[in-house]
Each structure stands twice: as C-alpha cells, then as structure tokens.
Structure 1
Amino acid sequence: MRYTDIAIVGGGLAGSTAAAMLGRAGIPTILIDPHPVYPPDLRCEKLDGGQVAILRKTGLAEAVLRAATHDGQVWLARFGYLLDKKPSDQHGILYDTLVNTIRAEISSDVQTIHAKATAISTSTERQKIALSNGDEISARLVVLANGLNVGLRHTIGIERRVISECHSITVGFDFTPVGRPTFDFPALTYYPERSRHRMAYLTLFPIGNVMRANLMVYRRMDDPWFRQLRQTPEQALLAIMPGLRRIAGKFKVTGQIKIRPADLYESSGHQQPGLVLVGDAFATSCPAAGTGTGKVFTDVERLCNLYIPDWLSTDGMDADKIAGFYDDPVKRACDAASTAKAYHLRSLSTANGLSWRAQRWARFIVRAGEGLLRQLHDRPTAGSDVQEAASRPYPGTAGVTR
C-alpha cells in the first residue's frame, strides 16, 4: 500500500497539468497512467490567447509556448474571397506534444505509476485504489482525470448521460502547397459556403514547418463523404469549399487523415466523498466550439490553486466539501458557456431558418467590413490613396451570390 494526499487517475491534459501544479506546490501526489509517453491523439492542436491566459495561472505556460508555433496573423475567407487579415495569438501544438511537454514539468517528488486503476473505494477519510500491477494506493483525495474512459466510473455509481450524440466531427490532416514552398497566408480560417455542406469551418495553422488542418463538420459517421475524403481528399474538400483554391492555391492533403466524432455528455452521481472529476471525465465539450482546452485548464487551475489546498487544511473529505468545486462560479460559467457555444455554432452553421441565415450574412458583412477598415488603416494615408481605396470594392464583398 502506498500512501499519499492526492492520487490522480489519468495522465492526459487534465491529469498531467494537475500533477505538475500539485508537485510545484509540494503536495504529496501520485499520478496513475499506463503510458510512459503519451501517444498521438487527435484532440486539441492549438491554443488561443484566452486559453494561454488561463494556462499562465497554472505556471506552465512558458514551457508549453516554447514547444508551440505562434502564427501571428490569420486570414479569414468565405466564398473564395479574402475578408480580413487580422492579428492572431494562436499557438499550434499537437496534443501529444502538449501533454508530454507538461509531463516534463512534473516534479520528481510526484510519483508516477504506469498502470491502470481497476477499482476505487471511497469514504469521508481515505480512498483506496487498486491497480493493474497489483499495487494499492491510499489517498485523501482521488482526482479522476481519465477522460472518456467510463468503465471505472460506472463501478462506483457515476453515470454518463449523452445529451447530443455525434454532435460534431473533427478531421485532422496536413495541408501542403503544390508548386511552391509555402502558402501565402501564415494561418487561414475558411468559413462554410452553404449550410447544406454541414461544416463549421476549416482552420489551417502552422505546427513547426507543417501547415496543419482541422476541419469541423456536422455529419453522421456513415456519411459517404468521409469515404470520398479518404479516397480523394482534395476533391472532397473542394466539393464543400469550391472557393478554397482561390485563397490557398493548388494544394494536396498529406499524412494520415484522422477522424474523431465527439458526443456531448454530462455526469451524474459524481458528488461522492473523496473523489472529484475534472475535464472530460466530468463533461465533454464540442471541439468545433474550441472551448475544451480552456475548460480543462479552468477546472484544473481552480481545483489545484484554490480547492485542494483548502480541503487538505482540514480533516475529512466529505461530499459537501467537494461540492464547493462543482459550484465554483468560474467553473460553472465556463461549463455553461462551452455548452451554449456548442449548440449555437452548430445551428449557425447548419440551420436554415430565416434568423440563422440572417446571422450568417451579418457575420460575413461584419468580417468584410472589419477587413476593409483594417486595410485602410494599414495603408499609407495620402489623400488620393484613401479615396481610391474607398471607391474600390473590397474582395470580401464583391461578386457574392447566395
């Protein structure tokens, strides 16, 4: 039997971040995960400025940013027309690189056991975890950060309720220029041309010397379009984004095409003594909405900076004490915003009601207007040049039909 204050089950993004934070705080911690090196996985592949701001509260941002690629600017396009070139604070990084970078920041004082947790028993004082290697752990608190693996949770009465099956699908691949060494854009977001194509957007961003593509769509996994995508990827992409070649030029899809569906679900029965759920173990988010990483960082930052030090300062670990984390106003606001954005983006991308169509056109016009203003602001302000620019239609607003 090994004794510790905190036992973390799962060494993905949530679990590894928690282990690194608790280790730096000098809190006795054991991390349990079967993988000595976290394997490749299609999940978060970039961080935006808001997510980096939360990551800074964990003390791990500098290490992560050194391993990531900053784009600096993103082009926005729709219908084959450039709408804007706006400053960007996106940082491209593959998910396994992100997790392994954070793991490298875990203090040597944190014990890491490469095994699976097979059983958990909880109480108001100490919790016991049985491992696949025969070891047992006694901890004051168990942090469940094992993502989508529901088997262990079911054994202790925690259920998963799916609220939107296959809510969205993420497609990841490398995007390579043909006939030239690089693309003209540092990063690109291409918005859907027609609601019938059932896509949220295509985002292209650099990771090292590679242009990475994440395509977010709303389809069923048995949609024949996915078979076409695997067989003739360039033609499949141009079938739903005919104007893409006008912005990107000739391109080819390289490397493995990875496809990952995402269900939205929430947990019940999780308010138990000695046990707390974080990240996807508690509730999932929609990758298309881009809120998942921020949600994980928010969970772990609140838990490790605020609640765990407070809980350990008093005896016991009853359910009422742990309920404070689930009721935390920052966490609740983050969870609610994540869910709301997931549903709003899906409707905005696919619904054909008059209000949704109006919203799509409004966003298009606003982006084109912002781009025109930015173009005028960045141009030399000689009077004749300004008059000429003002009289010439901006590419994002000319020749567009619906």
Structure 2
Amino acid sequence: MRYTDVAIVGGGLAGSIAAAMLGRDGIAAILIDPHTVYPPELRCEKLGGEQLNLLRKTGLADATLRATTLDGEVWEARFGYVVARKPSDQHGVMYDTLVNTVRMQIPENVETIHAKTSEISSSAERQKLVLSNGEEISARLVVFANGLNVGLRQTLGIKRKVISACHSVTLGFNLEPVGRAAFDFPALTYWPKRASSRMAYLSIFPINGTMRANLMVYRDMTDPWLPAFKQAPERAMVAIMPGLENMMDAFRVSGPVKIRPADLCVTEGHIRPGMVLVGDAFSTSCPAAGTGTTKVFTDVERLCNVYIPQWLSTEGMGAEKIAAFYDDAEKKACEARCLAKAYHLRSLSTDNGLSWRAQRWARFILRLAQGTRLAIGRQFAGGSMPRRLAAKQAAHP
C-alpha cells in the first residue's frame, strides 16, 4: 500500500496540469495513467484569448507556450471575401504535444504510475485505489481527470447525463497549397454562406510549419456527408464553402482526416466524500465554441490553487468540503458561459429563423466594418494585402 495526499486518475491535460501544480507546491501526489507518452488525439489544437491568462495562473504558461506556434494575424472571410484582418494571439499546438509538454513540467516529487485504476472505495477520511498492475494506493483525495472514461465512476454511483447528443462534429486535417510555397494568409477563419451547410466555421492555422485545419459542423455521425468528405475532402470543402477557391487557389488535404463527435454531458451524484471531478470528467463542452480548454484551466486552477490546500489543512475529506469546489463562483460562471456559447453558436450556424438570419448578417456587417477600419489604419502604416489576392477580390467581390 502506497500512501499519498492526492491521487490523480487520468494524465490528460487536466490531470497533468494538476500533477504539475500540486508537485510544485510540495503537496504529496501520485498521477495514475496508462500512457508513458500521451498519444495523438483530435482534441484542443490551439490556445488563445482568456485561455492564456488562465494558463498563466497555473504557473505553466512559459514552457507550454514555447511548444506552440503563434499565428500573429488571422484573416476572417465569407463569400470568398476577406472582411477583416486582425491581430491574433492564437497558439497552435497538437493535443498530444500540449499534454506531453505539461507532463515535462511535473516535478520529480510527483510519482507517475503507468497503469489503470480498476477499483476504488471512498470514505470521509481516506480513499483506497486498486490498480491494474496489482498496486494499491491510499489517498486523502482522489481527483478524477479521466475525461470520458465513465466506467470507474459508474461503480461509485456517479452518473453521466447526455443533454445534447452529437452536439457538434470536428474534422481535423492538414492543408497545403499546390504550386506555391505558402498560402497568402497567416491564419484564416472562413464563415459559411448558408445555414443549410450545417457548418460553424473553418479555421486554418499554423503548427510547426504545417497549416492545420479544423472544420466544425453540426451533423449526425450517420450522415453520408462525413464519409464523402473523407473520400474527397477538397471537393467537399469547395462545395460547402462557395468562394473558398477564390481565397485559397489550388490546395490539397495532406494526411488523414480525423473526425470527432462531441456530446454535451453533465454529471449527477458527484458530490462524494474524498473525490472530485475536473474537466470533461465533470462536464463536456463544444469544441466548435472553443471553450474546452477554458473549462479545464478554470477547474484545475481553482482546485489546485484554492481548494486542495484548504482541504488538506484540516482533518477529514467529507462531502461538504468537496461541495465547495462545485459551488465556486468562477467555476459556475465558466460552466454557464461554455454551455450558453455551445447552444448559441449552433443556433446561429444552423437556425433559419428570421432573428438568427438577422444576427448572422449583423455579425458579417460588424466584422466588415471592423476590417475596413483596420485596413484603413494599415494603409496609413504602409501595410497591404498581397497583390494577387487583392486583385482576385476586386474581380470577384
């Protein structure tokens, strides 16, 4: 039997950040995950905006961001027309690189055991874990950071409830120009023309010299459009986004097309003595809304910076202690924003009601106005769009 203060089940992004933060603060912790090196997986592929501020609160930002690629500027387009060129702080990174970079920051005082947790029993004092390699661990607190792996939690009566099945689908792939060295844009967000396309947007951004694409759509996994896309992705992209060729000229998809559906889920029966759920283990978010990492960073930062030090400073690990984390104002506000954004973006992208159509046009006009203002400022500063693309847009407005 090994004894520790905190046992972390799952070494993805949430679990690895928690292990690094607790180890840095001198808290006895053990990370349990079967992967010696985290494998490739289609999940978060860029960080930006408020996520950067949240990452800095974990104390892991500097080393983590060095493994990413900053785009610096993003072009926003619709109907094959660039409506805005904006400064951007988006940092592209493959998910496995992100997790493995965080893992490298876990201090030596945190032991990592490469196994699965097969059994767990809990009480208000200590929790017992039995691992697949036969080892046993006794911990004051168990942090569940094992994402969508619900089997172990179900044995404890913790239930997952799907509130929106296949809410969105992410398609991830690499793009490269044909007949030239690079695309004209440093990064591109392309918005759909019609709600009937059931598309949120196409995002193209750099990762280590490669242009990565994330296409966000709202379709059922039985939709024949998905296998058709995998078979002929270039043709499918041009069909769903009229005007895209005007932006990109000849291009090809290099490498495999990976597809990941995402359900929106919440957890019930989770307030238990001696155990806490973070990230996707507690609730999922919509990748199209871009809030998954925001939720993970918020959960782990609040848990490790605020609650675990408080909990360990007094005896016991009763359910009333655990409930304080779920009632945290910042966590609850983050959960509400992520859920609201997921539903709003889906309706904005697919609903053909008059109010939603008006909102889509209002967003387009706003972006066009912002882009025009930025373009005027850039002209005074001596910057301009590449001549070839400017000529094409003038010919095909």
Give the structure-2-normalised TM-score.
Answer: 0.96
Q: Once the two structures are superposed, what CA deviation does each residue of 1:150-201 show, in whole Å capped at 9, x if it has no partner?
A: 0000000000000000000000000110000111110000001110000000
**Contact 1:173–1:255 (8 Å) recurs in 2:** yes
The share of aligned pairs that are identical, in percent, is: 67
State the partner residue of 2:42.
42
Check 1:373–1:397 CA distance in 2 against 1; reply closer, same or farther (3 A cut). Answer: farther
State the partner residue of 2:387.
none
- Displacement over 4 Å in runs of 4+: 393-400
CA distance in structure 2 between the partners assigned to 1:279 and 1:343 by the alignment: 19
**Contact 2:5–2:27 (8 Å) recurs in 1:** yes
CA distance in structure 1 between the partners assigned to 2:176 and 2:266 by the alignment: 38
1:303-314 → structure 2 map (5 Å cutoff): 303-314=303-314
In the TM superposition, residue 396 of structure 1 has moved relative to its aligned partner by 8.6
SS at match of 1:380: helix
Q: Which runs of 5+ in 1 are unaligned?
A: 383-392
In the TM superposition, residue 399 of structure 1 has moved relative to its aligned partner by 7.6
1:161-240 → structure 2 map (5 Å cutoff): 161-240=161-240
1:61-210 → structure 2 map (5 Å cutoff): 61-210=61-210
Check 1:381–1:147 CA distance in 2 against 1; reply closer, same or farther (3 A cut). Answer: closer
In the TM superposition, residue 373 of structure 1 has moved relative to its aligned partner by 0.7
**Contact 1:368–1:397 (8 Å) recurs in 2:** no
CA distance in structure 2 between the partners assigned to 1:231 and 1:155 by the alignment: 41
State the partner residue of 1:54.
54
CA distance in structure 2 between the partners assigned to 1:257 and 1:395 by the alignment: 29
CA distance in structure 2 between the partners assigned to 1:92 and 1:213 by the alignment: 11
State the partner residue of 2:376.
376
Q: Which moved more, 1:77-86 or 1:221-230?
A: 221-230
**Contact 2:46–2:90 (8 Å) recurs in 1:** yes
Instruction: Give the AA of the match of 1:139.
Output: A
Aligned length: 390
State the partner residue of 2:255.
255
**Contact 1:83–1:396 (8 Å) recurs in 2:** no
Q: Once the two structures are superposed, what CA deviation does each residue of 1:5-38 show, in whole Å capped at 9, x if it has no partner?
A: 0000000000000000000000000000000000
Q: Once the two structures are superposed, what CA deviation does each residue of 1:104-159 show, in whole Å capped at 9, x if it has no partner?
A: 00001001000000111110000000100000100000000000000000000000
SS at match of 2:181: coil
SS at match of 2:44: coil
Instruction: Give the AA of the match of 2:27.
Output: I
In the TM superposition, residue 380 of structure 1 has moved relative to its aligned partner by 2.4
CA distance in structure 2 between the partners assigned to 1:154 and 1:183 by the alignment: 48
State the partner residue of 1:336.
336
**Contact 1:2–1:136 (8 Å) recurs in 2:** yes
CA distance in structure 2 between the partners assigned to 1:221 and 1:396 by the alignment: 36
State the partner residue of 1:350.
350
CA distance in structure 2 between the partners assigned to 1:381 and 1:248 by the alignment: 26
Instruction: Give the AA of the match of 1:83.
Output: V
**Contact 1:82–1:395 (8 Å) recurs in 2:** no
State the partner residue of 1:283.
283
Check 1:394–1:368 CA distance in 2 against 1; reply closer, same or farther (3 A cut). Answer: farther
CA distance in structure 2 between the partners assigned to 1:192 and 1:244 by the alignment: 10
State the partner residue of 1:362.
362
**Contact 1:73–1:86 (8 Å) recurs in 2:** yes
Check 1:272–1:394 CA distance in 2 against 1; reply closer, same or farther (3 A cut). Answer: farther
Instruction: Give the AA of the match of 2:365.
Output: I
Instruction: Give the AA of the match of 1:161.
Output: K
CA distance in structure 2 between the partners assigned to 1:255 and 1:282 by the alignment: 33
CA distance in structure 1 between the partners assigned to 2:260 and 2:146 by the alignment: 18
Check 1:180–1:211 CA distance in 2 against 1; reply closer, same or farther (3 A cut). Answer: same
CA distance in structure 2 between the partners assigned to 1:337 and 1:195 by the alignment: 23
Q: Does 1:26 align with 2:26?
A: yes
**Contact 1:30–1:113 (8 Å) recurs in 2:** yes
In the TM superposition, residue 49 of structure 1 has moved relative to its aligned partner by 2.4
SS at match of 1:213: strand
Instruction: Give the AA of the match of 1:60.
Output: L
**Contact 2:200–2:288 (8 Å) recurs in 1:** yes
Q: Cα RMSD over matched residues?
A: 1.6
CA distance in structure 2 between the partners assigned to 1:191 and 1:100 by the alignment: 32
Instruction: Give the AA of the match of 1:263.
Output: D
Check 1:250–1:395 CA distance in 2 against 1; reply closer, same or farther (3 A cut). Answer: closer
Instruction: Give the AA of the match of 2:106.
Output: I
**Contact 2:246–2:392 (8 Å) recurs in 1:** no
**Contact 1:167–1:218 (8 Å) recurs in 2:** yes
CA distance in structure 2 between the partners assigned to 1:219 and 1:225 by the alignment: 9
CA distance in structure 1 between the partners assigned to 2:327 and 2:99 by the alignment: 27
SS at match of 1:35: coil
**Contact 1:372–1:394 (8 Å) recurs in 2:** no
In the TM superposition, residue 50 of structure 1 has moved relative to its aligned partner by 1.2
Check 1:315–1:223 CA distance in 2 against 1; reply closer, same or farther (3 A cut). Answer: same
State the partner residue of 2:386.
none
